[in-house]
């Protein structure tokens, strides 16, 4: 009996590495600390009522933001572990298996559990406010999306201490990811972590598509909508068409592993190429899913801090919609070297370059928004100005990679690694950070400290170039990705050491930048400049017309929109002495909180965990729990309520009274 | 104000010193950029294309960055700035036509070069010399090379005659990998159940770096191999020597070799007939005969016809 338990524990828990024991201890300590603090300060009911069961988009946005920052930390630690291992040739810091797990989780976490939730955080925090809406179209579904994402992410992260991490690369190409070559549970964690959070992502895409199409304030025609909302629309459209492909692909891979199907094995007529095609049919649009909202953020930030209307609004809209369509016709550029015919390669090379056209146009439009404006370099603007050169270079190397015959030399090399980090960090991360700094006062009611923020920016920006420029050169030196070691140990010494060392220094500079941001946030919570006006930057769009943080119903009275930059117009009218129409409050229709999204996601987690270990006694009850939650929701009729007028009056009086 | 200026000074110094470090290390290590130092016609076409497209891209990016710096400086929000301020100017058909036009023209130019070289590289590099075929199998975690014309086999070492086009046929008896010899030309995937084709050629004798480029599991980092190009006579001599002095590769020997492990260089005087075909077939090639035939427009069983 005792022997059985010991046997089970030694495979169930990951053992053998001091880093992992350290993680075990810190997870245990953190959990105990959280439980203690919540109990000591009697915060359990508060947590349940105000956060876990909330359907308020602003709260859900904040939870997304916190989760994504935690994931940025985890993925960032992975990155630093890798760069430490590669700092010197023949390093013995990480073993091959451990290194392979680390780059796999780094990629998966950064894209799916960091970039996606950070993007959804901004969707949630901003879009309803920009549209003049009181919530998203489906608040219940919104809460479900968040909890599914969080449970998926937790399931994936659990693999670090239980069962073992996936180690077949962030896209898990078969046959390496099949049972034949990855017999452990790591790949199962990969599949179920992504599947569960993927349902949430798809639902969010649908939610925001409908919100944008149906919930805009009266008078806000599509072509008067702020560009960030347009970017969310284009991104949501891609989500709706791309995420089902991911779900199906991973479901097929699961069937291969679980039931011995042969979709992606070569025996019995399956084909791994099919997986490679499918995963990139999702994977390439995915990068546009995350970068388009960043484009939207830059459009808002540039106009606000140049005190000027955005240049070429129609072009901006058209180019985003064009990108969302063309992004579905470029996937094969990820495997030009897999033996496709010359015709296929030429088609995908040119379709890929075509994406560069609308993207280039956007850069010129941002530049000419600043042209003849009045530019103040605030924190959001700083990140925007850091983005433009970085993304221009990253985009240019992207066009170079699209040149199919040349790609035979770049493919799988560090040139490629440098390119996609440049567009993903320089484009997506810089963009989201610009957005977070920009909307932070709206969400939390105070600004983030300027001085610490500037340190963070320069460390990130300089660290980026120090880290990734050498990697382009390493690509030309023949260094391929995913090598856990190099130098004499592998037989060839090709002089990769100095540039690798420089690159590692850069990675740590970025890590330092992140620490400055943590410092900045904790400092500003206490001492940050409070935003009493609701419009700290001189904004142009509706979210700046209400107090910061916004009351739970957002807008006491539905705004009437007549033009783009709706709030700017109101301010202009006020300056001209035009009096706003008298305010008349009406009861506001609001959704009720619900525990079902959380409970259902927990059931999914239980089912997912059961499937990971092939424990049907656990998976089936989990799925039954999901079904019960669905039924419970179908039969619950008491889902909404009205906020009475006197309560609105009291809230507004308190908020406006505070306003100077 | 003063601290602001010293901040900019510090930044300038940082940028300049970084540029110097990069310039020096590039100058010292120029010969280390093996992708840009081609030793065969395929790599040469690719190197020219890399440089050409790199220059075109730089010609676009550098002016954009300069323009940005100028605009940010010119239109900065200071009380004494006399630059024009037009807060409602947001539309210019002419300007927008220009910057829709510029990238379109560039993409057309790049597209033409891309198509030209894609079709060029699908064919053997030169046609006046008789090509030879080498069958390559990626294993966990080593490379097996079979010479169907010479009937010898090697591991982690491949010798080729200089000036002769080589038709590499690639497959895998393990997870997919990618076969890359940067100085001879770009890579191609090796996949189980398929026989892919890659034309390469070395112009002169020399020793070149080869590696697996696509991650294939634990000891993937050790899948580097040596490519040696020798004059035809010396190559023939080497073949004779391998035939005379090396052991045979038997079926059992191959089974051992295919087991997950790393390996040193090995040489075999012969190998079981149809070993390559068997490897392809048992991994699923049997289900793909039709596709393979149309892909390579030839059989994969060792024919040396181009």
Question: Coil, strand, or helix at residue A487?
Answer: strand
Same-domain pairing of B289 and B149: yes
Residue A457 Cα, gap to closest chain B Cα (Å): 13
Same-domain pairing of B144 and B290: yes
Q: Do the chains contact at A478 and B211, CB–CB below 8 Å?
A: yes
Local structure of residue A50 (DSSP, 8 states): I
Same-domain pairing of B63 and B136: no
Residue B13: inside a domain: no
Q: Which helix (H) or strand (E) holds A400?
A: helix A379-402
Residue A246 Cα, gap to closest chain B Cα (Å): 21
Domain with B53 in it: 33-77+94-123
From chain A, pick out residues whose CB is under 8 angstroms from the CB of B68: 367, 370, 385, 388-389
Strand partners, B139: B142
Q: And the tokens for B39?
A: 């030793």
Same-domain pairing of B221 and B245: yes
Tell which residue, A402, A503, A601, has the closest CA to residue A82: A503
ipTM value greater than 0.95: no
Rg (CA), chain A: 25
Instruction: Give pTM, 2 decimals.
Output: 0.94
Q: Do the chains contact at B193 and A346, CB–CB below 8 Å?
A: no
Residue B162 Cα, gap to closest chain A Cα (Å): 21
| Partner-chain residue, chosen from A371, A412, A475, that has the shortest CB–CB distance to B71 | A371
Q: Do the chains contact at B218 and A473, CB–CB below 8 Å?
A: no
Q: Do the chains contact at A372 and B102, CB–CB below 8 Å?
A: no
pLDDT at residue number B299 = 36
| Partner-chain residue, chosen from B57, B224, B226, that has the shortest CB–CB distance to A396 | B57
Q: And the tokens for B56?
A: 């075109």
Question: Coil, strand, or helix at residue A444?
Answer: helix
Q: Answer whether A339's CB lies under 8 Å from B196's CB.
A: yes
User: Mean pLDDT by 10-residue block, N- to C-terminus, for chain A (660 residues)?
Assistant: 82 79 83 87 91 96 96 96 95 92 96 97 97 95 97 95 92 92 94 96 97 96 96 97 97 94 85 94 96 97 96 96 95 92 94 94 96 95 96 95 96 97 96 97 95 96 94 95 91 90 96 97 94 93 94 93 93 88 89 96 97 95 97 93 93 73
From chain B, pick out residues whose CB is under 8 angstroms from the CB of A372: 75, 83-86, 89
Residue B10: inside a domain: no
Q: Do the chains contact at B215 and A350, CB–CB below 8 Å?
A: no
Number of folded domains that form chain B: 2
Chain B contacts in chain A segment 69-128 (CB below 8 A): 96-97, 100
Which CATH number goes with the domain that contains B148?
A: 2.60.40.420
Q: Is the dihedral of CA A386, A387, A388, A390 positive or negative?
A: positive
Q: Do the chains contact at A494 and B49, CB–CB below 8 Å?
A: no
Q: What angle do CA A209, A213, A219 make, to 5 degrees?
A: 150
Strand arrangement of the beta sheet that strand B266-268 belongs to: B196-200, B166-172, B132-139, B142-147, B152-155, B266-268
Distance CA B177, CA A480 (A): 12
Burial letters A29-41, b for 16+ CB under 10 A, else e: eeeeeeeeeeeee
Intervals of chain B under pLDDT 50: 1-2, 294, 297-306
Q: What would the 3-class secondary structure string for A505-563 be? A: HHHHHHHHHHHHHHHHHHHHHHHCCECCCCCCCCCCCHHHHCCCCCCCCCCCCCCCCCC
Local structure of residue A638 (DSSP, 8 states): -
Q: Do the chains contact at A346 and B114, CB–CB below 8 Å?
A: yes
Residue B6: inside a domain: no
| Partner-chain residue, chosen from A364, A372, A411, that has the shortest CB–CB distance to B75 | A372
Query: Is the CATH number of domain A43-658 1.20.210.10?
Result: yes
Distance CA B71, CA A375 (A): 9
Residue B199: inside a domain: yes
Q: Do the chains contact at A492 and B189, CB–CB below 8 Å?
A: no
pLDDT at residue number A161 = 87
Residue B289: inside a domain: yes
From chain A, pick out residues whose CB is under 8 angstroms from the CB of B103: 356-357, 360-361
Domain ranges in chain A? Answer: 1-42, 43-658
pLDDT at residue number B289 = 67
How many interchain CB pairs under 8 A, A with B?
Answer: 297
Residue B7: inside a domain: no
Which of A480, A490, A564, A565 has the highest number of chain B CBs within 10 A, making it the mutation to test binding with B? A480
Q: And the tokens for A657?
A: 């009274």
Chain B contacts in chain A segment 171-200 (CB below 8 A): 173-176, 181
Residue B249, preceding peptide bond in cis (omega within 30° of 0): no
Distance CA A599, CA B154 (A): 60
Q: Do the chains contact at B107 and A311, CB–CB below 8 Å?
A: no
Distance CA B84, CA A372 (A): 6
Residue B301: inside a domain: no
Same-domain pairing of B73 and B142: no
State the number of CA atoms in the 13 A half-sphere of B237 facing the CB.
Answer: 5
Q: 């308020």: which residue's tokens? A: A56
| Partner-chain residue, chosen from B22, B50, B188, that has the shortest CB–CB distance to A337 | B188
A361 touches B at CB < 8 Å: yes
Q: Do the chains contact at A367 and B49, CB–CB below 8 Å?
A: no
Residue A549, preceding peptide bond in cis (omega within 30° of 0): yes
Strand arrangement of the beta sheet that strand B177-181 belongs to: B157-161, B224-230, B206-212, B177-181, B185-190
Distance CA A392, CA A294 (A): 14
pLDDT at residue number A177 = 93
Q: Do the chains contact at B180 and A412, CB–CB below 8 Å?
A: yes
pLDDT at residue number A660 = 39
Residue B63: inside a domain: yes
Residue A633 Cα, gap to closest chain B Cα (Å): 45
């Amino acid at each position: 009996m005792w022997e059985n338990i010991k046997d089970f524990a030694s495979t169930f828990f990951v053992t053998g590495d001091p880093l992992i024991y350290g993680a075990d201890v810190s997870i245990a300590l953190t959990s105990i600390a959280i439980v203690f603090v919540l109990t000591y300060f009697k915060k359990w009911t508060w947590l349940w009522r105000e956060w876990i069961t909330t359907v308020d988009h602003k709260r859900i946005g904040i939870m997304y933001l916190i989760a994504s920052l935690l994931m940025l930390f985890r993925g960032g630690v992975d990155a630093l572990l890798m760069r430490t291992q590669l700092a010197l040739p023949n390093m013995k810091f990480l073993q091959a298996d451990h290194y392979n797990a680390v780059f796999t989780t780094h990629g998966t976490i950064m894209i799916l559990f960091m970039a996606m939730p950070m993007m959804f955080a901004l969707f949630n925090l901003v879009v309803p406010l920009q549209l003049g809406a009181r919530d998203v179209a489906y608040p219940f579904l919104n809460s479900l999306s968040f909890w599914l994402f969080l449970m998926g992410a937790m399931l994936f992260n659990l693999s670090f201490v239980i069962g073992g991490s996936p180690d077949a690369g962030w896209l898990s190409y078969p046959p390496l990811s099949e049972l034949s070559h990855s017999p452990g549970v790591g790949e199962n964690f990969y599949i179920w972590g992504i599947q569960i959070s993927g349902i949430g992502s798809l639902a969010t895409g649908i939610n925001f598509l409908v919100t944008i199409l149906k919930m805009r304030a009266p008078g806000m025609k599509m072509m008067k909508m702020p560009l960030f909302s347009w970017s969310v629309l284009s991104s949501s459209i891609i989500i709706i068409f791309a995420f089902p492909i991911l779900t199906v692909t991973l479901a097929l891979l699961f069937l291969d592993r679980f039931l011995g199907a042969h979709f992606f094995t070569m025996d019995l007529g399956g084909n791994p190429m099919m997986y490679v095609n499918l995963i990139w049919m999702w994977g390439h649009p995915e990068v546009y899913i995350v970068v388009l909202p960043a484009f939207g953020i830059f459009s808002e930030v540039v106009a606000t801090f140049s005190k000027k209307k955005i240049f070429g609004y129609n072009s901006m809209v058209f180019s985003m919609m064009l990108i969302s369509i063309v992004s579905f016709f470029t996937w094969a550029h990820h495997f030009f070297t897999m033996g496709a015919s010359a015709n296929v390669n030429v088609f995908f090379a040119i379709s890929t370059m075509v994406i560069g056209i609308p993207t280039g146009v956007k850069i010129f439009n941002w530049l000419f928004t600043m042209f003849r404006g009045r530019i103040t370099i605030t924190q959001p603007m700083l990140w925007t100005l850091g983005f433009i050169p970085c993304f221009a270079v990253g985009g240019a190397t992207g066009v170079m990679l699209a040149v199919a015959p040349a790609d035979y030399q770049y493919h799988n090399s560090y040139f490629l690694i440098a390119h996609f980090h440049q567009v993903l960090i320089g484009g997506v991360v810089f963009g989201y950070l610009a957005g977070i700094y920009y909307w932070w006062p709206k969400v939390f009611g105070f600004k983030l400290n300027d001085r610490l923020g500037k340190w963070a920016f320069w460390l990130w920006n300089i660290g980026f170039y120090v880290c990734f420029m050498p990697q382009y050169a390493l690509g030309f030196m023949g260094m391929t990705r995913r090598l856990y070691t190099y130098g004499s140990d592998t037989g060839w010494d090709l002089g990769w050491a100095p540039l690798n060392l420089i690159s590692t220094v850069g990675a740590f500079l970025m890590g330092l930048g992140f620490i400055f941001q943590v410092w900045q946030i904790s400092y500003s919570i206490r001492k940050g400049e409070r935003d009493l006006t609701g419009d700290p930057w001189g904004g142009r769009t509706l979210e700046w017309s209400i107090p910061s943080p916004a009351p739970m119903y957002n807008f006491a009275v539905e705004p009437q929109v007549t033009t783009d930059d709706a709030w700017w117009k109101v301010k202009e009218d006020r300056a001209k002495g035009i009096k706003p129409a008298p305010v008349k409050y009406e009861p506001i229709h609001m959704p009720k909180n619900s525990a079902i999204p959380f409970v259902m996601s927990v059931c999914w987690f239980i089912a997912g965990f059961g499937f990971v270990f092939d424990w049907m006694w656990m998976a089936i009850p989990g799925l039954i729990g999901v079904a019960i939650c669905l039924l419970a929701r179908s039969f619950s009729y008491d889902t909404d309520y009205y906020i009475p007028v006197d309560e609105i009056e009291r809230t507004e009086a308190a908020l406006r009274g505070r306003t100077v | 104000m003063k601290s602001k200026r010293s901040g900019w000074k510090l930044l300038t110094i940082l940028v300049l010193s970084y540029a110097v470090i990069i310039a020096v290390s590039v100058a010292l290590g120029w010969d280390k950029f093996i992708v840009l130092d081609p030793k065969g016609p395929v790599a040469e076409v690719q190197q020219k294309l890399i440089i050409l497209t790199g220059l075109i891209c730089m010609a676009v990016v550098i002016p954009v960055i300069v323009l940005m710096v100028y605009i940010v400086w010119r239109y900065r929000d200071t009380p004494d700035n006399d630059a024009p301020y037009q807060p409602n100017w947001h539309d210019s058909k002419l300007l927008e036509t220009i910057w829709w036009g510029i990238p379109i023209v560039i993409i057309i130019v790049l597209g033409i070069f891309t198509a030209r070289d894609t079709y060029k590289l699908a064919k053997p590099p030169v046609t006046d010399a008789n090509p030879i075929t080498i069958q390559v199998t990626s294993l966990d975690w080593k490379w097996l090379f079979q010479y169907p014309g010479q009937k010898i086999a090697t591991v982690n070492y491949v010798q080729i005659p200089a000036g002769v086009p080589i038709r590499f046929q690639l497959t895998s008896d393990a997870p997919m990998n990618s076969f890359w010899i940067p100085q001879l030309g770009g890579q191609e995937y090796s996949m189980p159940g398929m026989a892919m084709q890659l034309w390469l050629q070395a112009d002169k004798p020399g020793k070149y770096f080869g590696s697996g480029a696509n991650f294939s599991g634990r000891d993937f980092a050790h899948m580097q191999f040596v490519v040696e190009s020798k004059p035809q006579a010396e190559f023939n001599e080497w073949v004779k020597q391998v035939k005379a002095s090396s052991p045979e590769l038997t079926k059992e020997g191959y089974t051992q070799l295919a087991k997950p492990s790393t390996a040193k260089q090995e040489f075999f005087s012969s190998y079981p007939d149809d070993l390559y075909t068997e490897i392809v077939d048992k991994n699923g090639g049997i289900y793909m005969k039709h596709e393979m035939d149309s892909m390579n427009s030839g059989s994969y069983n060792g024919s040396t016809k181009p």
